Chain A
Amino acid sequence: MAIESDVLVIGGGLAGATAAIEAARGGASVRLVAHKENTLRNASGLIDVLGYNGGDEPLVEPFEAIADLPDEHPYRKVGVEAVRESLALFDEIAGDLYEGGHTETNALSPTYGGRVKPTGRYPKSAAAGLASRTEDTLLVGFEIVTSFDAPLAAERLDSSVPFDVRGVTIRFPGEFRADARITRLATALDADELRDREQRLGTREALAARVAEYLGDAERVGFPALLGDDEHQAVREALETELGVPVFEVPMGPPSLPGMRLEDRLYEELDAEGVRVESGNPVVGYTADDGRITAVSVDRGRREVPYHAEQFVLATGGLVGKGIDSSREGVSEPVFDCHVPQPEERYEWFHDRVFDDQPYARFGVSVDDGLRPLDSSGEPEFSNLRAAGAVLGGYDMAREKSASGVSLSTGLVAGQRANEDLQ
């Protein structure tokens, strides 16, 4: 009844937030509805733009490679300038949380699997760890953090990078159960809990003392990304002071503290731009009139409430975020039932080796150049609906390392177009 806005964005991840911020900056009143927590906290926090196109050679210049992508790729829909613009917007929003905006070339980041990965922007907390720098490196892991084995990652990394890498596993200072969550360790560093009562050391200092034994001639030290939550900067600085060398985080996840920090920053920006954010209830349906959506229905616990708007942005995520759904019968987009191109035969959704070029990884809606989802005959499903982020099909974000870049650029364009069409 009384719930309305110019633009309604469905989905609260990177794409949805970017669309909402962009539309709000253009002057629209914007509401963002999200069902549950988004997938940012599952992702590493690195902002990948385009890491590979085809072979095993990582791309140095991601923007230059965009023209070589196939026509159905979302980057080709929005164009390379929009990708640049969206990264500039990201740089502005992320502020001192991120680095990498000074250049158009990719950086190489170490992963917690011990490989290097081409990426466009990286958290400041990960900056000192770039594999495209040359300092000898010590990686530190913790006995109870089973996901990250520092000596193994170091051995793998060492075999491929032009600097020395060593790894060591130590006990996290303090008494923790073996199944303490990563957030628990981050909180202990945040609060700098006094753990070592005899030596009167705080957690940060105690940790540095343990690492110092193994420092040797390492010129930088990397930890799994759990160096504090709210206080991450202070935690890192304290460790750097104690150790006398740069300290960095190796992006992890899920759960990902860098992802959570980015999420906080995005939501601060949404707030600053006056975007109304509601989370907790799913959009389950819509009403349309003459090819235009007039309202969507939000399910608020056994009843549906209409949310009216002029323009709508679908940014509900892909298979992981549940913006794309599937059953034994087929693949679908659950909110507006937009057409999702797919092989009819389920056994053609996949190939037999896990890292083959998997058809399922490209599932999503196909769109026109204005990012409007297309029906099976190639016509826009609705004149005032745009799609952004992982709900889009036609690209494999994992294979080509392009997840965040696609979300940012399509979010930006969806927000801009929605705003333009208000006039």
Chain B
Amino acid sequence: MTDRVDALVVGGGSTGCGIARDLAMRGLSVALVEQGNLTHGTTGRMHGLLHSGGRYAVSDQASARECIEENRVLREIASHCVEMTGGLFVQLEDDPDEYFEEKLAGCRECDIPAEVLTAEEAREREPYLTGDVKRAIAVPDGAVDPFRLCVANAADAAEHGARIETHAKVTDVLVEDGEVAGVEVEHESGPGKRNHSLPGTTEEIRADHVINATGAWAGRVGKMAGVDVEVRPSKGVMVIMNVRQVDTVVNRCRKKGDADIIVPHETTAILGTTDVEVEDPEDYPEERWEVDMMIETLSELVPILDDARTIRSFWGVRPLYEPPGTGTTDPTDITRDFFLLDHEDRDSLPGMTSIVGGKFTTYRMMAEKISDHVCAKLGVSAECRTAEEPLPGSEDFSVLRDYMDEFGLRSPIGRRSVQRLGSRADDVLETTDPNPTVCDCEAVTRAEIQDAIDGSGSDLNAVRIRTRASMGNCQGGFCCHRMANELHPRYDEPTVSEAWDELVQERWKGERHALWGEGLSQAALNYQLHATTMSLDRTPEIADFGAFDSGVETATDGGERTTGSRSSSGPRSDGGRTERGRDGD
């Protein structure tokens, strides 16, 4: 482990992981530090849309062009993270024709394949669309799993020698002789993989160049270095449906507004979103109106959403940025473009660059540009190869052959496992030991959980985002403890208990926004399971075990005698009948 690197990346979201991979592949020594899990900030809190660019084709054509370009790249290098669902911009009877025409023209101008569908054709593709559909534009939108993508980038960076530290919060930016020289981090449980029971440590990591890729948190890191980075965080809600009501990304074809997109995401569908500027990216209100609005407004597009089960809601914070002086008041009008802030030029502080703004779909392009910039600063001339080299898991897709027989799994479980693992399926799933399913809802087997633990230590939330275990309709009610069980005996009981509690609390955080109907029944059942049957809701304080009932003894005369257990003797066996301990008096 090295505390001296060429480049240090702060932030384990898509951009940070992308930069770490890019630089590591160019041969630089790299470290990445992240305060929580990978994807902890904004990346893990997005709707999973792989933009075709269609959404920006009218308002922001530069972004639209970048999107379609990167869309094509990601299909190649991250095929196991991407599902090419296709997308529709749906015009309802009352939606304006002009906008539809503008959208179509915009797509064509930006080289985004776009096809006009009649109402019938649109509803043939997506039968649950409302009968009020007038027509639709089909574009190559897709769905992408941001967790898997981020983890794959980090894994590949590590493969190329990068040091990846999660749960390592930057507590200071080291400025020496007017130059950034590295950062001080606080390891929550020591460096390396997370292990809840290890004590925290502090470390200085020195670097020739520090990259602040902390998105909505960029201002905080900037401040530690003494520079102003004015990010304008804007929150948006996402509501997760239990099943996929649509298999295509469905956008409402009208001017940008709240609640206008449904993204099929793995086994679920995600409804989004709102756009409200907030003060603090870590502390903002999560409000009922936002959840209700998603369901009410989007059921105009897909009516069954109104009755369908919602399993949770979550909020993400966009790291919007405007060059000083632009003065936009409505966050929806702020550009989605990204900005590279060279603090040497901007603030006369060499040794650090910040990246702000931007969007998930173009993370790789952003990473490439910033890596070019860093390489130029450090005098390295290596080429970027991230657009050509597939990510781990996406190398060889012939694995999608007869997977179910191969691993002895039931076909839907084998299919889902391979969809998640891609070309790693052979490595992960081949085992001679019994491989029971740990998470039934998402079809995650023990072998896959164990593989995730290999990668992320005792952190069950990290296991969750790698595997999707506990992300299905019971929201972990039936599998949080099974996942925790898989940590043992690698980790001791106090560690496992802490990891379990952290996972259960995290699940509840989103579940409480879906507490009605089946969601409330599920919560009540989960609560009874956890608090009654397992009684894990508290640690009982028992002063005197002997005060409690310790059973009856079947006396030789057939009568029963009451016993306490204070002075109970050891049991003996007598042909299957047992003699129980009894009180002497």
Contacts and interface: CB of A to CB of B under 8 A. Distances in A.
**A/B contact in complex, CB under 8 angstroms:** yes
Interface of A: 42-44, 48, 52, 55-58, 60, 99-100, 102-103, 105-108, 111-118, 127-128, 130-135, 143-144, 146-149, 151-152, 155-156, 159-162, 171, 178-179, 219-220, 237-238, 240-241, 243-246, 251-254, 256, 318-320, 322, 325-328, 345-347, 349-350, 352-355, 358, 360-361, 397-399, 401, 403
B520 interface: yes
Give the top 9 A-B pairs by smallest Cβ distance, nearest first.
A113-B534, A149-B485, A132-B548, A354-B508, A319-B524, A398-B531, A107-B549, A237-B576, A152-B488
Interface residues of B, number: 76
A119 to B, nearest CB: 9
Contacts of B521: 319-320, 322
Contacts of B1: none
Contacts of B517: 325-328
A108 B534 contact: no
B580 interface: yes
B578 A105 contact: no
Given A130-B550, A152-B485, A361-B527, A350 B512 contact: yes
Given A152-B485, A155-B493, A99 B552 contact: yes
A249 to B, nearest CB: 13
A146 B545 contact: no
Nearest to A237: B576
Interface string B552-577: 10000000111001001011010111
Contacts, number: 243
B536 A113 contact: yes
A248 B528 CA distance: 23
A171 B533 contact: no
A171 B433 CA distance: 10
A398 B578 contact: no
A365 B482 CA distance: 35
B401 interface: no
A346 B528 contact: no
Contact of B488 (A143, A151, A160): A151
Interface of B: 288, 292, 295, 408, 410, 433-438, 446, 478, 481-482, 484-485, 488-489, 492-493, 496-497, 504-505, 507-509, 512, 515-517, 520-521, 523-525, 527-543, 545-552, 560-562, 565, 568, 570-571, 573, 575-578, 580-581
Contacts of B531: 355, 398-399
A156 to B, nearest CB: 5
A320 B288 CA distance: 24
Nearest to B287: A347
Contacts of A132: 545-546, 548-550, 565
Contacts of B512: 350, 352
B528 A398 contact: yes
Contacts of B523: 319, 360
A282 to B, nearest CB: 16
B505 A108 contact: no
B537 A399 contact: yes
Contacts of B509: 352
Contacts of A320: 521, 524-525, 528
Contacts of A326: 515-517, 520
Given A113-B534, A152-B493, A401-B535, 13 more contacts: A107-B549, A111-B535, A116-B540, A117-B540, A127-B552, A127-B580, A133-B565, A135-B581, A152-B496, A326-B515, A346-B288, A397-B528, A398-B527
